[in-house]
Structure 1
């Protein structure tokens, strides 16, 4: 190797060690950055001359450094005081996007078509109602629409300042009223209720009551929309419940009728056997309710108090009545080779041909990983290891400068020979 080649080799060594300095300094600077994935530096030799060594092998007289990503390395999951923060344990990434232009205006932002992926799950609700992480990326998910169903399209999750409470699904209807008297025959009555389906939509439900023409203590209750959905209800002479569908029932046992049909199947509570607290008959011939109203077990009102995250990726609205309701669902995206992703600003990545196509999964499926709430994923930087490598890189850099100095002395000696 000539003196000039030795200078070129030393310069390539200086550049390679500078590259390593850059990677190490970036790791150290981001040792406290949520979701940051530390990188390493790989070195490779290069042959830049056509000279052959005496053993016939090519001479290596240059070195190059490349940055290797380790996005598949799991960071430590640590607790956070932020209740909206999420940490992934697994191979998945959050789907995020960036807005176009300023986000400070009162108008809804428009979003860049570029899809980003991140492990930074330190989210909070911004002044426009979007879930945004500390790097300014907007979290995407499947949002619940006006019909109560989840959307099938990923979009930035938006939460209004005042979320309306959706009435809960009715599963039980109850009636507490005298529906006729013990003194007449052939009487009839109708009881109605407002029942709510699983989407919180209200529907009117009616039950028809018909007294036997031969026995004033025997009645038939039926679904007004389906007469075949019925039951026989008998009463005692004092107007209290005796039985439903002729089954032998002890005093104090629950008396029920199975309602089937729209909006869903429900249990109708008629009270207790031997009691007049539920459905009963009047004994004075007149004081009974006309068209009594059934009550349901649906909760119909509540005031929005905040948001909560669930380990299955559900974004829930919480209310002062103690209930929570689904607003959106967060999926996780995986890649065949996550180390092939292209790093972007703010702990975000974009897909490349090397990473493979993104695959969107539900939480805890197909290796996407699990979620920890009120938690974040720490940087994967190992400070002790990086500081040690920094010392080694510093010494290697110094050694390459010695080669430059020595080569310069050799050149000066050679030049002095012709003086």
Structure 2
């Protein structure tokens, strides 16, 4: 029976090597398939139950050995919606069940893939090259929180992003301790001030609504613009937006009203007033050219801001060019911060505006979509705004190699793999990249040569067993 057993064992060897060659063939065929995970072959000996002194080598069986945990190289594609996982984890995807376009229906079953060559289809869905649709969570644009607890197929609609009225202007600058206005004369004390000690404010500005040096003025009339400009300095300009997204340029001017009081508690070194241009073309006494913010801005001995204590000035109610900018219901705050506005010496005598930024914007349309390292789908709009539109759903498994393989580089959860663990853990997403196949061509060719030799060796065993049987048959001839 030994010769017949040898024949059987050789056949199992040939079968096992054929199985290994099939896996090698598949790996080589998918060497350029995005996200492909090669299948290796492992062999196991099958030993019959015999006495200790009669044990034999036995036959062999071949089994698949998954390599899902071995990452392929990442390759840049320059496509913003392509994304690769650097580390463990899978994208959560779904399949189309029926319908097309707006009537498309999905299976509603979570599948998993490393194939991240996602791109938009005609309906705004992100689908990869194998036809699997990316799943995730929508994001509330107001709160920034995820909507829902179960992932759904991501659909990005190219809708218009609404305009936002300006509510705050961040102003960071240094006001010169001695402003070099057109009226400033170093030989005339106080000539740099808005309130010239040589005359009263009312006399200087008879057509303007004024109080005194100790209280802010209200407006500068058009007939007094020239006089006002010679006693103030340019403070910069910023474009703001009304609730409809209309852009209006707001011009600021600063005027120093006194040089402080060393005896005050705390001592001061200067007080300023902020004016906003309302109608620079105003000419008459009844026309308003500049409007005051109505706040005395006071500095301490080291140039630090003392007043307003909160570091914020509310702009007056303004209508510029027929557009209401700062209103009672939608005021604009000029935020100065603790160190945003200072008063220090400056040889130029001009305002050094370090930063003027505001928070409003006009309406915009979606220009491009990209994915960040945390898996947020970021929309960039034509108005310059960048908004998180959705969060990609990802998952990990305790036993990745026990997932069931499906067509197109997808996997299905099994009892052996365990349930999915939400999130990527320490892994990261890399936008604009895809993961390549983890097949090593050189390694596969080496295994193919070894497999071929093993197969040939088994055929040699069959030939030898046949010769031995022929010798037996020849005995009786």
Which range moved further: 26-35 or 406-415? 406-415
Distance 1:244 1:339 in 2: 71
Are the counterparts in 1 of residues 300 and 306 from structure 2 also a CA contact under 8 Å? no
**Cα distance change of structure 1 residues 291 and 7 upon mapping to structure 2, 3 Å threshold:** closer
- The alpha carbon displacement at 1:106 in A equals 2.5
C-alpha deviations, 1:12-68, integer Å up to 9, x for none? 0011001100111111111111111122111110024x444xx53632321001010
Match of 1:62 among 42, 47, 59: 59
Which piece of structure 1 moves more, 72-81 or 145-154? 145-154
2:385 aligns with 323
2:158 is the counterpart of 1:96: no
Q: Secondary structure at the match of 2:443?
A: helix
TM-score by length of 2: 0.63
Contact preservation (8 Å) 2:136, 2:154? yes
Q: Find the partner of 1:402 among 460, 464, 471.
A: 460
Unpaired segments of 5 or more residues in structure 1? 175-179, 201-232, 260-266, 271-277, 281-288
Deviation of 1:157 (Å): 0.4
**Which stretch shows the higher mean deviation, 164-173 or 106-115?**
164-173
Out of 415, 420, 441, the residue aligned to residue 358 of structure 1 is 420
Cα distance in 2 between the residues matched to 1:409 and 1:239? 113
Which residue of 63, 70, 75 corresponds with 2:72? Answer: 75
| Partner Cα separation in structure 2 for residue 312 and residue 38 of structure 1 | 27
Q: Choose the corresponding residue for 1:140, options 132, 135, 138.
A: 135
- The match for 2:161 is 165
Change in Cα spacing, 1:151 to 1:293, as seen in structure 2 (3 Å) is: closer
Q: Which whole-Å deviations, capped at 9, do the CAs of 1:246-278 have from their partners, x for residues lacking one?
A: 877999x8986969xxxxxxx5543xxxxxxx6
Give the C-alpha shift of residue 357 in structure 1: 1.1
After superposing the two structures, state which structure 1 stretch, 129-138 or 39-48, moved more: 39-48
Task: Tell me how far apart the structure 1 counterparts of residues 152 and 293 of structure 2 sit (CA, whole Å).
Answer: 55
The equivalent residue for 1:155 is 152
Q: Map 1:228-243 to 2 at 5 A.
A: 240=292, 243=295
Shift of 1:127: 1.5
d(CA) in 2 for partners of 1:290 and 1:90?
Answer: 53
Deviations 1:132-170 (A, max 9, x none): 11111110111125766421321110012x222044586
Displacement, 1:240? 4.8
Q: Provide structure 2 residue ranges, at least 5 long, that are not aligned to the other structure.
A: 171-207, 212-217, 219-239, 245-271, 276-289, 319-325, 333-357
Which of these two proteins has the greater Rg computed from alpha carbons? 2
- For residues 176-255 of structure 1, the aligned pairs below 5 Å read 181-182=209-210, 240=292, 243-244=295-296
Tell which deviates more after alignment, 145-154 or 131-140.
145-154
Is 1:385 the equivalent of 2:443?
A: yes
Distance 1:323 1:254 in 2: 35
1:172/1:268 contact within 8 Å kept? no
Q: Who is 1:417 aligned against? A: 475
**CA 1:67–1:169 in structure 2 vs 1: closer, same or farther (change >3 Å)?**
farther
Which position in structure 1 is the counterpart of 2:429? 371
Q: 1:235 to 1:13 in 2, by over 3 A?
A: closer
User: Residues 167 and 58 (structure 1 numbering): CA distance in 2 closer, same or farther, change over 3 Å?
Assistant: farther
The answer to whether the 8 A contact 2:241-2:361 is kept is: no
Please report the TM-score for the alignment, with normalisation by the length of structure 1. 0.71
Distance 1:94 1:181, change over 3 A: same
Structure 1 contact 93–117 (Cα < 8 Å) conserved: yes
Aligned length: 342
Secondary structure of 1:390's counterpart equals helix
Whether the 8 Å contact between 2:298 and 2:306 is mirrored in structure 1 is: no
Secondary structure, aligned partner of 2:442: helix
For residue 159 of structure 2, give the secondary structure of its aligned residue in structure 1: coil
Tell whether the 8 Å contact from 1:78 to 1:375 is kept in structure 2 after alignment.
yes
Q: CA deviation at 1:97?
A: 0.9
2:117 corresponds in structure 1 to: 122
Match of 1:86 in 2: 83
CA separation in 1, counterparts of 2:31 and 2:124?
30
**Which residue of 1 is the match for residue 188 of structure 2?**
none
Check conservation: 1:256, 1:269, Cα contact below 8 A: no
1:257/1:269 contact within 8 Å kept = no
The secondary structure found in structure 1 opposite 2:374 is coil
In structure 2, what is the equivalent of residue 43 of structure 1?
43
- Aligned: 1:21 with 2:21: yes
* Distance (whole Å) between structure 2 residues aligned to residue 247 and residue 140 of structure 1: 56
The answer to whether the 8 A contact 1:86-1:375 is kept is yes
Alpha carbon RMSD of aligned pairs, Å?
A: 3.9
Q: Contact 1:38–1:381 at 8 Å: present in 2 too? A: yes
